[in-house]
Amino acid sequence: MSDVKKHDMKILLVDDDELVLEVLTLQVASFGYQCFSARNGLEAIEKLKQEYIDIVVTDVVMPEMDGLELLAYIMDYYAETAVIVATGYSDKASYADVIRAGAIDFIKKPFELDELEAKLSRVERERQMIHKLEKLSLCDALTGLFNRRSFDIRLREEVERADRQDYDVFLALVDVDNFKSYNDTYGHPAGDKVLHAVGLILNDCTRHNVDFTFRYGGDEFAAILTQTSVEQAEKIMQRVLENFDRAGFGETSLSVGLVSCDCQNKNWTDNTAEMIERADNALYKAKQSGKNKVVLGGCDTLQAKKH
């Protein structure tokens, strides 16, 4: 028997029939996917808050919140999550209905497991292709991080989402200290290695599928930290400084300006513009007060330990 192919995608199965849900979960897990389950739309929302989910496969007729209501919620708050709608009540929701509502596909119950596996595989291939195309247009070639264009889009999206879902979002602006002199002394290839290392460290120290990292421009970088506390945000950026310090690029170090979003009484454009301005001011204070530290929006500074 050949080994089951392991997939990176996480699948959430939603059905109010516990027996169907149990069998379906076992079967989809046997395809090689990491599987989660929920008995109705409200349980599914709680799972979405706890885990990054790639695909939701949901029944239509369920108590408390049905599949079409769940689909609408996902379109509003988790637009990157794909939805496949499954129903045995064809008069309740047609193929055209669910596709117009935002579902990526439709499957009738009782369905063949081979058909479901094929649909999951198709969605996975499409998402991989979309991801590749996004990387070409939204990523920085040197570091592999998202670029400034992507930053402008993502910051607004995350500020809006944080306001709707009532959680904190933080912005960190990061600058490489003494980069020009390092670049002039050792040459541009050595400077590129420094920038590449910053990108790797930012990705390693932040949370996959929760935080977002960017090359902001030149030797400046940015990170959007979502669903976190100020203490956790500070720890993440402090870890970035310490890991870069251990990398040992001569006299270079990192300075960080870190701010939270204040969403009250402002439109989204003003929110993001003010957030960037406050982070830039905090970064300036970090540079002026000795470099190699995190400044939290004008509050106390945190010095990275030297090794």
Q: How far apart are CA 274 and CA 280, in angstroms?
A: 10
Cα 192 to the chain's mean position, in Å? 26
Q: Under CATH, domain 139-303 is a member of which superfamily?
A: Reverse transcriptase/Diguanylate cyclase domain (3.30.70.270)
Name, in order, each residue with C-beta under 8 angstroms of 150's C-beta and a sequence gap of 6 or more: 138, 139, 214
Confidence of residue 270 (pLDDT cuts 50, 70, 90): confident
**What mean pLDDT is predicted for residues 99-123?**
89
Q: How far is CA 183 from the centre of its chain?
A: 32
Residue 255 to residue 284: CA distance in whole angstroms: 9
The residue type at 149: R
The residue extents of the domains of the chain are: 10-136, 139-303
What pLDDT, on the 0 to 100 scale, is given for residue 279?
95
User: In terms of DSSP bridges, do strands 34-38 and 253-260 run parallel, antiparallel, or are they unpaired?
Assistant: unpaired
Q: What is the pLDDT of residues 138-180, one digit of tens each?
A: 889 899 899 999 999 999 988 888 888 888 899 999 999 999 9
Confidence (pTM): 0.59
161, with CB counted inside 10 A (0-12, 13-18, 19+), is middle
Give me the helices (H) in 103-226, please: 113-138, 148-165, 179-186, 188-205
DSSP state of 262: -
Contact 178, 288 (CB under 8 A): no
Spell out where 49-136 has E strands: 55-59, 82-87, 105-108
Adjacency order of strands within the sheet including 212-217: 212-217, 220-226, 169-177, 253-260, 293-296, 301-303
The candidate with the shortest Cα–Cα distance to 190, out of 206, 179, 202, is: 179
What is the per-residue pLDDT for 48?
94
Question: Which pLDDT tens digit goes with each residue over 228-248?
Answer: 999 999 999 999 999 999 999
Q: Stretch 250-269: mean pLDDT, rounded? A: 82
Q: Mean pLDDT over all residues of the chain?
A: 88
Q: Which CATH class is domain 10-136?
A: alpha beta
pLDDT digits (tens, 9 = 90+) for 185-217: 999 999 999 999 999 999 999 998 889 999 999
What confidence category does residue 5 fall into, taking pLDDT thresholds of 50, 70 and 90? low
pLDDT of residue 134: 72
Q: DSSP readout, 203-232? A: HHHSPTTTSEEEEEETTEEEEEEES--HHH
